Structure 1
């Protein structure tokens, strides 16, 4: 795509930011597992971890997503850009879906308002990291620069 930069000089910074985001997800999930262990898998109670509502299911999903994003970040080579893009979309959709179900029986992940907002912020950060994370050959970089000059 002509609008996404190739071999951007700030790519390493965005990879680190995506990695830190993944580590946050793993830490949140691990603390959530410790806090909610022994409870119901999809409990809808007032359990808070790092100021966010969670249950065992949400905590396990956070750990799995965090590990997958961290693995993609370590691999690099456009795997991270692809994974960050789709996980970014997923977290944005998850944040909006849980925002719509906050005070209903459909709040299966026990999200609070803070959890929904954090999910959307994580989505934005991952999308930003995906946008500047693409790697390509010198020819692809020159084509991107030419397309940028034409616009």
Structure 2
């Protein structure tokens, strides 16, 4: 996309922020597994981890997403950019969908309002990291700057 910066000066910071998002998801998932071990996979109870509702299914999903984000961040180049954008959109949609089913039997991941808000914020952070972390050649960077200055 031509409107996303290429070789942004702060791209290492955005990449690190994306990686920290993955670390948070893994940490949340591990603490959730410790807290909910022995329970049902999709239990709908009052289990809280880091102030957020969770169950074993939500914890496993968080670990998997966190590890995928961390792997993409470690691989670098534009793999993390290609992954962070769709995962950011997906997390925002998941947070909105969880709000829609919050007090119903369809709340399989045992989300609370706090969990939905945190998931949406994590989605926004991943979108930001994906938008500003693109790496390109010097020619692509010059073309982007030319288009930005003379459009």
TM-score, normalising length: structure 2 = 0.99
Task: String of CA shifts for 1:99-146, please: whole Å, max 9, x gaps.
Answer: 111011110000000000000000000000001110101111111111
RMSD (Å) for aligned C-alpha atoms:
0.6
Q: Can you give the 5+ residue segments of structure 1 that lack an aligned partner in the other structure? A: none
Shift of 1:150: 2.2
1:23 aligns with 2:23: yes
**Do residues 129 (structure 1) and 150 (structure 2) align?**
no
Aligned pairs (5 A) from 1:65-84: 65-84=65-84
1:104 aligns with 2:104: yes
- 1:59 alignment partner in structure 2: 59
What is the number of equivalent residue pairs in this alignment?
151
CA distance, structure 2, for counterparts of residue 63 and residue 95 of structure 1? 17
Alignment partner, residue 37 of structure 1:
37
Give the match for residue 139 of structure 2.
Answer: 139
Q: Distance in 2 between matches of 1:61 and 1:150?
A: 45
Q: Gaps (5+ residues) in structure 2?
A: none
SS at match of 1:70: helix
Paired with 1:90 and 1:31, the residues of 2 have a C-alpha distance of: 23
Shift of 1:147: 1.0
Give the Cα–Cα distance (whole angstroms) in 1 for the partners of residues 102 and 115 of structure 2: 10
The structure 1 segments of at least 4 consecutive aligned residues displaced by more than 6 Å after TM superposition are none
Matches for 1:114-125 after TM superposition, within 5 Å = 114-125=114-125
Q: What is the distance in 2 between the residues matched to 1:12 and 1:58?
A: 30
Distance 2:31 2:21 in 1: 15
Query: Contact 1:2 / 1:148 at 8 angstroms: preserved in 2?
Result: no
What do residues 56-90 of structure 1 show as CA deviations (whole Å, max 9, x unaligned)? Answer: 00000000000000000000010011111111011
